[in-house]
């Protein structure tokens, strides 16, 4: 399975790529241009888990190409619906640009003038790559939360980075070991370095994606502890999703946090935000993973069911009924 790699976020939300990262790139997509292209013609239209999905394909697409793209989208949407209880938004438009090669991405998602995504797809992409793809699920996760100011990009990117593998695991597309492999290997990249500031001020690749993901892991643990196991982070995110209606809403981070905290009857998201937004804080990631019973032994991810938060770890990757 390919490991995740990101190009730098820009303009909309994400530029994600499954090909090797050779340079930091900026997207030159104009969202209004993408919107106009999507209005001109559609190649696919279908409904998944309450979401109306319109797809335009740039490039000569055969019936087989269209079928593969629809299967890919449906599979990704099923994972998102598992996590949020339904699809990310009521209506989503997707432009797929076919190009040479066998890679998926880059991709960018916007909430204006409507919920829409532009993603590149290599004509020679394998069935296994489409089957195992995370890029589409990452973009669909962005659709589910409101759009925040640019300084809070880490909040949005970190959320998509954290939720995507969990959603796929809840729908049986990943094993729990694969989910936590990414935490063990990649979350340390989000720790602050010399000269870094808080998450609202240091917008490097590592701090944006993996520093943001650590915020959500800490929130996951704190919500469970503070509620005596009654609530999960998923409850907070489902509430934000339901009340905002997705990424066509433009909220402040404070409004988003308020809705999430209310759903779990606490102040976990707000207290963590206050702690991490303005100053660099080294996270005890090893200790957090130990509490969950997660470790690496001889190159393999191992679970300790005697760990204090083993029940939480198991529940995170287990399908939860919609509230």
3-state secondary structure of 110: strand
On whether both 140 and 171 belong to a single domain, the answer is no
Q: How many domains is the chain partitioned into structurally? A: 2
For tokens 């944006």, the residue is 208
On whether both 244 and 281 belong to a single domain, the answer is yes
Of the residues 144, 179, 201, which one is the last residue of a structural domain?
Answer: 144
What integer is the mean pLDDT of 212-231? 98
More confident residue, 319 or 9: 319
3-state secondary structure of 305: coil
What integer is the mean pLDDT of 87-106? 95
Residues contacting residue 114 through CB under 8 Å, at least 6 positions apart: 35, 91, 93, 248
On whether both 199 and 301 belong to a single domain, the answer is yes
Give pLDDT tens digits for 162-199.
Answer: 999 999 999 999 999 999 999 999 999 999 999 999 99
Of the residues 111, 144, 177, which one is the last residue of a structural domain?
Answer: 144
Rg, the chain, Cα only: 19
Asked which of 63-67, 161-165, 236-240, 277-281 is least confident by mean pLDDT, the reply is 63-67
pLDDT tier for residue 26 given thresholds of 50, 70 and 90: very low
In a domain, 323, yes or no: no
Are 135 and 161 in contact by the 8 Å Cβ rule? The answer is: no
In a domain, 139, yes or no: yes
3-state secondary structure of 193: coil
Q: How many angstroms separate the CA atoms of 216 and 46, rounded?
A: 32
On whether both 57 and 183 belong to a single domain, the answer is no
* CA-angle at 211, arms to 5 and 299, nearest 5°: 60
On whether both 22 and 72 belong to a single domain, the answer is yes
- Using alpha carbons, list the distances in angstroms from residue 96 to 4, 28, 73, 228: 20, 16, 11, 45
Of residues 246, 218, 15, the one with CA closest to residue 256: 246
Q: The domain containing residue 155 runs over which residues?
A: 150-316
Of the residues 144, 168, 189, which one is the last residue of a structural domain?
Answer: 144
Q: Which two tokens stand for residue 35?
A: 């919107």
**pTM of the full structure:** 0.91
What integer is the mean pLDDT of 101-110? 94
In a domain, 321, yes or no: no
Residue 323 pLDDT: 58
H-helix or E-strand containing 222?
Answer: helix 212-226
On whether both 91 and 178 belong to a single domain, the answer is no
Residue 28 pLDDT: 63
* CA-angle at 135, arms to 320 and 165, nearest 5°: 30
Pair type for strands 51-58 and 44-48? antiparallel
Residue 33 pLDDT: 87
In a domain, 188, yes or no: yes
Q: How many angstroms separate the CA atoms of 29 and 12, rounded?
A: 9
On whether both 98 and 238 belong to a single domain, the answer is no
- Using alpha carbons, list the distances in angstroms from residue 280 to 90, 166, 215, 267, 303: 38, 27, 12, 21, 30
Q: How many angstroms separate the CA atoms of 323 and 242, rounded?
A: 11
Percent of the chain with pLDDT over 70: 91
Residue ranges of alpha helices (H) inside the chain are 31-40, 63-84, 127-132, 135-144, 153-170, 176-186, 205, 212-226, 233-244, 253-263, 268-276, 285-292, 310-316
Are 104 and 18 in contact by the 8 Å Cβ rule? The answer is: yes
Residue 23 pLDDT: 24
Q: How many angstroms separate the CA atoms of 197 and 201, rounded?
A: 6
On whether both 12 and 85 belong to a single domain, the answer is yes
On whether both 213 and 134 belong to a single domain, the answer is no
pLDDT tier for residue 46 given thresholds of 50, 70 and 90: very high
On whether both 126 and 227 belong to a single domain, the answer is no
Give pLDDT tens digits for 228-267.
Answer: 999 999 999 999 999 999 999 999 999 999 999 999 999 9
Are 46 and 67 in contact by the 8 Å Cβ rule? The answer is: no
pLDDT at 40 over 90: no
Q: Which two tokens stand for residue 146?
A: 């409101």
pLDDT at 1 over 60: no
The answer, yes or no, to whether the previous bond of 106 is cis (omega within 30 of 0) is yes
In a domain, 190, yes or no: yes
On whether both 249 and 128 belong to a single domain, the answer is no
Question: Residue 315: exposed, middle, or buried by beta-carbon count in 10 A (0-12, 13-18, 19+)?
Answer: middle
In a domain, 221, yes or no: yes
On whether both 124 and 241 belong to a single domain, the answer is no
In a domain, 322, yes or no: no
């Amino acid at each position: 399975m390919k490991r995740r790699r990101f190009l730098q976020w820009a303009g909309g939300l994400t530029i994600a790529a499954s090909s090797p990262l050779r340079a930091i790139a900026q997207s030159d997509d104009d969202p209004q241009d993408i919107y106009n292209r999507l209005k001109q013609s559609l190649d696919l239209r279908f409904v998944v888990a309450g979401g109306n999905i319109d797809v335009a394909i740039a490039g000569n697409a055969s019936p087989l190409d269209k079928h593969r793209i629809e299967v890919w989208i449906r599979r990704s949407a099923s994972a998102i619906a598992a996590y949020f209880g339904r699809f990310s938004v009521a209506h989503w438009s997707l432009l797929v640009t076919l190009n040479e090669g066998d890679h998926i991405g880059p991709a960018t998602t916007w909430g204006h003038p409507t919920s829409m995504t532009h993603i590149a797809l290599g004509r020679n992409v394998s069935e296994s790559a489409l089957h195992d793809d995370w890029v589409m699920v990452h973009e669909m996760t962005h659709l589910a939360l409101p759009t925040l100011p640019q300084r809070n990009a880490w909040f949005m990117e970190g959320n998509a980075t954290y939720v995507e593998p969990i959603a796929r695991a809840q729908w049986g597309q990943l094993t729990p070991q694969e989910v936590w492999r990414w935490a063990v290997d990649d979350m340390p990249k989000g720790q602050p370095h010399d000269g870094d500031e808080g998450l609202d001020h240091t917008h490097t690749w590592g701090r944006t994606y993996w520093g943001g993901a650590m915020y959500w892991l800490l929130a996951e643990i704190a919500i469970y502890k503070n509620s005596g196991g009654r609530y999960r982070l998923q409850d907070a995110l489902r509430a934000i999703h339901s009340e905002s209606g997705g990424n066509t809403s433009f909220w402040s981070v404070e409004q988003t946090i308020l809705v999430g905290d209310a759903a779990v009857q606490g102040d976990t998201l707000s207290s963590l935000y206050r702690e991490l937004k303005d100053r660099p804080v080294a996270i005890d990631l090893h200790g957090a993973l130990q509490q969950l019973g997660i470790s690496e032994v001889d190159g393999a991810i191992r679970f300790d069911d005697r760990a204090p938060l083993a029940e939480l770890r198991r529940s995170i990757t287990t399908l939860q009924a919609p509230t």
